[in-house]
Structure 1
Amino acid sequence: MAHISSEPPIKWQVRAFILVFLIEATVCQIRYSVPEEMRKGSFVGNVAEDLGIDRLRSGRARIVTGENNQYTELKTDKGTLVVNERIDREELCGDMTPCSFSFEIILENPIELHRLTVEILDVNDHAPTFKNDVINLEISESATIGSHFDLESAYDPDAGIHSLQNYVLSPNDNFVLKQQSNADGIRFAVMILQKPLDRELKPHLSLKMIAVDGGTPQRSGTVNIEITVLDINDNRPVFNQSLYTATVTENAAIGTYITTVNASDADSGSNGLVTYTFSNVKGKSGEIFEIDSFTGKITVAENIDFEKDRKYEIRVIAKDQGGLSDATTIVIEVTDINDNAPVINIMSFTSLISEDVPPGTTIAVFNVKDADSERNGQVTCSVDSNLPFKIQSSLTNYYNLLSQVPFDRESKPEYNITITATDSGSPPLSTKAALHLKISDVNDNSPVFTEPSYSAHIVENNVPGLSIFSVSARDSDWNQNARLSYFLEDTQVSGNPVSSYVSISSETGVIHAVRSFDYEQIKQLVFTVKAQDGGSPPLSSNVTVKILIQDQNDNPPQVLYPVQTGGSLVAEMVPRSADVGYLVTKVVAVDVDSGQNAWLSYKLQKATDRALFEVGLQNGEIRTIRQVTDKDAVKQRLTVIVEDNGQPSCSATVIVNVAVADSFPEVLSEFTDFTHDKEYNDNLTFYLVLALAVVSFLFITCLVVIISVKIYRWRQQSRILYHSNLPVIPYYPPRYSDTLGTGALQHVYNYEVCRTTDSRKSDCKFGRAGSQNVLILDPNSTGTMQRIQNEKSILDEPEEREKDTRNGMGQEDWSCKR
Structure 2
Amino acid sequence: MACGIRPYTRCEKWRFGCGQNWHLLLVLFYLICMVNGHIRYSIPEEMKKGSLVGNVAQDLGLDLKRLRSGRARIVTEESIQYTELKTDKGILVVNDRIDREQLCGDVTPCSFSFEVILENPMELYQITVEITDINDHSPTFKRNSIHFEISESANTGSRFPLTSAEDPDVGVNGLREYFLTENDNFVLKQNSNADGKKYAEMVLQKPLDRETNPHLSLKLIAVDGGSPQRSGTVNIDVTVLDINDNAPVFNQSVYKATVMENSPRDTYVTTVNASDADIGSNSIVTYYFSDLNSGLSDLFRIDEKTGVISITGSIDYEKDKKYELRIEGKDQGGLTDSSKVIIEVTDVNDNAPTISVMSFTSPVSEDSPPGTTIGIINVKDLDSSDNGQVNCRIEQNAPFKIKSNLRNYYTLVTDIVLDRESVSDYNITVVATDAGMPPLSTKRTFHLKVSDVNDNAPVFPRGVYSAFIPENNSPGVSVLTVRAKDPDENQNARISYILEDTNTGGSPVSEYVSINAESGVIHAVRSFDYEQIKQLVFIVKAQDGGSPPLSSNVTVKILIHDQNDNPPQVLYPVQTGGSLVAEMVPRSADVGYLVTKVVAVDVDSGQNAWLSYKLQKATDRALFEVGLQNGEIRTIRQVTDKDAVKQRLTVIVEDNGQPSRSATVIVNVAVADSFPEVLSEFTDFTQDKEYNDNLTFYLVLALAVVSFLFITCLVFIISVKIYRWRQSRILYHSQSPCDSILSTTLLRHFGDRDSPTRVQLRGVQDD
Tell me which interval the TM-score lies in, with the shorter structure as reference length: 0.5 to 0.7
* CA-CA distance at 1:390 after TM superposition: 1.5
* CA-CA distance at 1:236 after TM superposition: 1.0
- Name the aligned partner's letter for residue 260 of structure 1: T
Contact 1:353 1:440 in 2 (8 A): no
Partners of 2:446 and 2:59 in 1: CA distance: 34
Partners of 1:352 and 1:63 in 2: CA distance: 27
Show the counterpart of 1:34. Answer: 43
* CA-CA distance at 1:199 after TM superposition: 1.5
- Once the two structures are superposed, what CA deviation does each residue of 1:434-493 show, in whole Å capped at 9, x if it has no partner? 22334699xxxxxxxxxxxxxxxxxxxxxxxxxxxxxxxxxxxxxxxxxxxxxxxxxxxx
Partners of 2:329 and 2:145 in 1: CA distance: 19
Cα 1:440–1:413 change in 2 (3 A) is closer
Show the counterpart of 2:418. Answer: 407
Partners of 1:255 and 1:244 in 2: CA distance: 19
Show the counterpart of 1:65. Answer: 76
- Name the aligned partner's letter for residue 31 of structure 1: R
- Name the aligned partner's letter for residue 47 of structure 1: V
Contact 2:154 2:244 in 1 (8 A): yes
Show the counterpart of 2:265. Answer: 254
Partners of 1:318 and 1:395 in 2: CA distance: 55
TM-score, with length taken from structure 2: 0.53
Cα 1:254–1:430 change in 2 (3 A) is same
Contact 2:35 2:126 in 1 (8 A): no
Contact 2:35 2:406 in 1 (8 A): no
Q: What does 1:321-340 correspond to in 2, within 5 Å?
A: 321-340=332-351
* CA-CA distance at 1:127 after TM superposition: 1.4
Partners of 1:420 and 1:318 in 2: CA distance: 53
Residue 96 (1) aligns with residue 112 (2):
no
* CA-CA distance at 1:358 after TM superposition: 3.1
Show the counterpart of 1:115. Answer: 126
In structure 2, which of residues 139, 142, 154 is the aligned counterpart of residue 143 of structure 1?
154
Q: What does 1:312-351 correspond to in 2, within 5 Å?
A: 312-351=323-362
- Once the two structures are superposed, what CA deviation does each residue of 1:556-575 show, in whole Å capped at 9, x if it has no partner? xxxxxxxxxxxxxxxxxxxx
Partners of 1:35 and 1:362 in 2: CA distance: 41
Cα 1:362–1:20 change in 2 (3 A) is farther
Show the counterpart of 2:298. Answer: 287
Partners of 1:277 and 1:59 in 2: CA distance: 61
Partners of 2:366 and 2:131 in 1: CA distance: 47
Contact 1:154 1:280 in 2 (8 A): no
Cα 1:440–1:357 change in 2 (3 A) is farther
Residue 201 (1) aligns with residue 240 (2):
no
Show the counterpart of 2:502. Answer: none
Partners of 1:189 and 1:310 in 2: CA distance: 25
In structure 1, which of residues 395, 407, 418 is the aligned counterpart of residue 429 of structure 2?
418
- Once the two structures are superposed, what CA deviation does each residue of 1:303-325 show, in whole Å capped at 9, x if it has no partner? 11111111111111111222221
- Name the aligned partner's letter for residue 241 of structure 1: Q
Partners of 2:265 and 2:184 in 1: CA distance: 47
* CA-CA distance at 1:288 after TM superposition: 0.3
Partners of 1:191 and 1:53 in 2: CA distance: 61
- Once the two structures are superposed, what CA deviation does each residue of 1:32-53 show, in whole Å capped at 9, x if it has no partner? 2222222222221211111112
Q: How many residues align?
A: 424
- Name the aligned partner's letter for residue 42 of structure 1: S
Contact 2:104 2:110 in 1 (8 A): yes
Show the counterpart of 1:692. Answer: none
Partners of 1:300 and 1:399 in 2: CA distance: 40
Partners of 1:137 and 1:206 in 2: CA distance: 10
Contact 1:48 1:80 in 2 (8 A): yes
Contact 1:391 1:400 in 2 (8 A): yes
Show the counterpart of 2:236. Answer: 225
Could you tell me the percent identity over the aligned residues?
A: 66
Output the aligned Cα RMSD: 2.2
Contact 1:20 1:30 in 2 (8 A): no
Partners of 1:270 and 1:160 in 2: CA distance: 46
Partners of 1:298 and 1:26 in 2: CA distance: 48
Partners of 1:146 and 1:44 in 2: CA distance: 54
- Once the two structures are superposed, what CA deviation does each residue of 1:743-781 show, in whole Å capped at 9, x if it has no partner? xxxxxxxxxxxxxxxxxxxxxxxxxxxxxxxxxxxxxxx
Segments of structure 1 that go 5 or more residues without pairing to the other structure are 1-17, 442-818
- Name the aligned partner's letter for residue 113 of structure 2: S
- Name the aligned partner's letter for residue 322 of structure 1: G
- Once the two structures are superposed, what CA deviation does each residue of 1:664-689 show, in whole Å capped at 9, x if it has no partner? xxxxxxxxxxxxxxxxxxxxxxxxxx
Q: Larger Rg: 1 or 2?
A: 1
* CA-CA distance at 1:283 after TM superposition: 3.3
Q: What does 1:569-648 correspond to in 2, within 5 Å?
A: none
- Once the two structures are superposed, what CA deviation does each residue of 1:220-266 show, in whole Å capped at 9, x if it has no partner? 11100001111122111110001111111111111111111001111
Cα 1:31–1:413 change in 2 (3 A) is farther
Show the counterpart of 1:174. Answer: 185
- Name the aligned partner's letter for residue 388 of structure 1: P
Show the counterpart of 1:264. Answer: 275
- Once the two structures are superposed, what CA deviation does each residue of 1:111-152 show, in whole Å capped at 9, x if it has no partner? 111222222222222211111110001112222322211111
Partners of 1:415 and 1:65 in 2: CA distance: 30
- Once the two structures are superposed, what CA deviation does each residue of 1:17-40 show, in whole Å capped at 9, x if it has no partner? x95899446622222222222222
Show the counterpart of 2:96. Answer: 85
Q: Which secondary structure does the structure 2 equivalent of 1:406 belong to?
A: coil
Residue 362 (1) aligns with residue 376 (2):
no
* CA-CA distance at 1:413 after TM superposition: 5.1
- Name the aligned partner's letter for residue 259 of structure 2: V
* CA-CA distance at 1:348 after TM superposition: 2.4
Q: Which secondary structure does the structure 1 equivalent of 2:128 belong to?
A: strand
Contact 1:19 1:32 in 2 (8 A): no
Contact 1:146 1:194 in 2 (8 A): yes
- Name the aligned partner's letter for residue 223 of structure 1: V
Partners of 2:242 and 2:161 in 1: CA distance: 19
Contact 1:352 1:440 in 2 (8 A): no
- Once the two structures are superposed, what CA deviation does each residue of 1:634-665 show, in whole Å capped at 9, x if it has no partner? xxxxxxxxxxxxxxxxxxxxxxxxxxxxxxxx
Contact 1:20 1:28 in 2 (8 A): no
In structure 1, which of residues 38, 44, 50 is the aligned counterpart of residue 53 of structure 2?
44
Contact 1:317 1:325 in 2 (8 A): yes
- Name the aligned partner's letter for residue 249 of structure 1: M
Q: Using the TM superposition, name which of 208-217 and 36-45 deviates more.
A: 36-45
- Name the aligned partner's letter for residue 329 of structure 1: K
Partners of 1:420 and 1:120 in 2: CA distance: 36
In structure 2, which of residues 123, 126, 140 is the aligned counterpart of residue 129 of structure 1?
140
- Once the two structures are superposed, what CA deviation does each residue of 1:506-553 show, in whole Å capped at 9, x if it has no partner? xxxxxxxxxxxxxxxxxxxxxxxxxxxxxxxxxxxxxxxxxxxxxxxx
* CA-CA distance at 1:91 after TM superposition: 1.9
Contact 2:396 2:429 in 1 (8 A): no
* CA-CA distance at 1:414 after TM superposition: 4.0
* CA-CA distance at 1:177 after TM superposition: 0.6
Partners of 2:285 and 2:137 in 1: CA distance: 36
Q: Which secondary structure does the structure 1 equivalent of 2:80 belong to?
A: coil
Contact 1:355 1:440 in 2 (8 A): no
Partners of 1:48 and 1:351 in 2: CA distance: 33
Contact 2:188 2:203 in 1 (8 A): yes
Show the counterpart of 1:159. Answer: 170
Q: Using the TM superposition, name which of 396-405 and 237-246 deviates more.
A: 396-405
Partners of 2:291 and 2:67 in 1: CA distance: 50
Q: Which secondary structure does the structure 1 equivalent of 2:102 belong to?
A: helix
Show the counterpart of 1:758. Answer: none
Q: Which secondary structure does the structure 1 equivalent of 2:69 belong to?
A: coil
